[in-house]
Amino acid sequence: MKNKKSLFYIIFLAIIFAMLPKYSFSQEEFEMKSGDTTYIMKKYVFGMYKRGENKNLDSTELANIQAEHLKHLGELAKLGKLCLAGPIDGKSDLRGLLVFNVKNIEEAEELIKKDPAVIAGRLTYELYYWWAAKGSTLK
């Protein structure tokens, strides 16, 4: 009887471990049904720009950094790595939002570290995984 219980637990655990990869959030996409609609949910990297420590730049330096910052974001968008980006209105320490179409946070971090505003210390950032319906648009 004890051997049957042990065998049962071993089989049960083997089934559970075999199923884990299917339900793991390490996957990049999964289907989600809502009524008659099936959504393909995709994992993106969501970023937030925050105010950096370097606040002592003259207007010429600021204009140059801003122009290079926007150029950098435009290049990422052309490459298909950046889906969405925009500034935060107001005087908050949050300065902007980004949605990256990359494999992982490490890839997004490599891209954002090359931003001239980050390099200059004008902006810092936080990155998170974020799920959204593939092909979602703003209206």
**Domain ranges for the chain:** 43-131
> Which structure tokens are listed for 60?
């010429």
How does pLDDT run across 47-64, given as a tens digit for each residue? 999 999 998 899 999 999
22-42 per-residue burial string, b: 16 or more CB within 10 A, e: under 16 = eeeeeeeeeeeeeeeeeeeeb
Q: Residue 9: what pLDDT?
A: 45
Angstrom distance (rounded) from CA 102 to CA 111: 10
How does pLDDT run across 97-133, given as a tens digit for each residue? 999 999 999 999 999 999 999 999 999 999 999 999 9
pLDDT of residue 14 exceeding 80: no
**Superfamily designation of domain 43-131:** Dimeric alpha+beta barrel (3.30.70.1060)
Answer for the pair 44, 132: CB distance below 8 angstroms, yes or no: yes
